[in-house]
Amino acid sequence: MARSIGMAKGTTVYRAVITKQLRDGKTVTEYEGPYGGIGAARARVSFWTNYMADRDEETGERTGTSRASGHVERGTVSWGRVEDGDAR
């Protein structure tokens, strides 16, 4: 879901790149953002790392590993007119 839609051209934006190891063994990469600040993107990486943390089956305690990891990427807003019939 897009955030900060009204950003000016040339504005620096950030996105979270999350790699998840699903229970079926498949690995997927997802992108969240853009965000106007680096902190929001870092928070999403932290959320997924914590949410998908591995737990000991007997105690339920975290093992210190996770099925998710990620990093933050920086980009710049670039706006251009979309012409009628432009499907891209």
User: What confidence score (pLDDT) does residue 5 get?
Assistant: 62
Q: What does pLDDT average to over the chain?
A: 90
Indicate the domain borders of the chain: 12-76
3-state secondary structure string across 40-70: HHHHHHHHHHHHCEEECCCCCCEEEEECEEE
Return the number of other C-beta atoms located less than 10 Å from residue 18's C-beta: 20
Residue 8 confidence class, pLDDT cut points 50, 70, 90: confident
User: What confidence score (pLDDT) does residue 86 get?
Assistant: 75
Tokens read off for 9: 């051209």
Q: Which residues of 27-36 are buried (b: 16+ CB within 10 A; e: fewer)?
A: eeeeebbbbb
Q: Is the pLDDT score of 1 beyond 80?
A: no
Tokens read off for 72: 């933050």
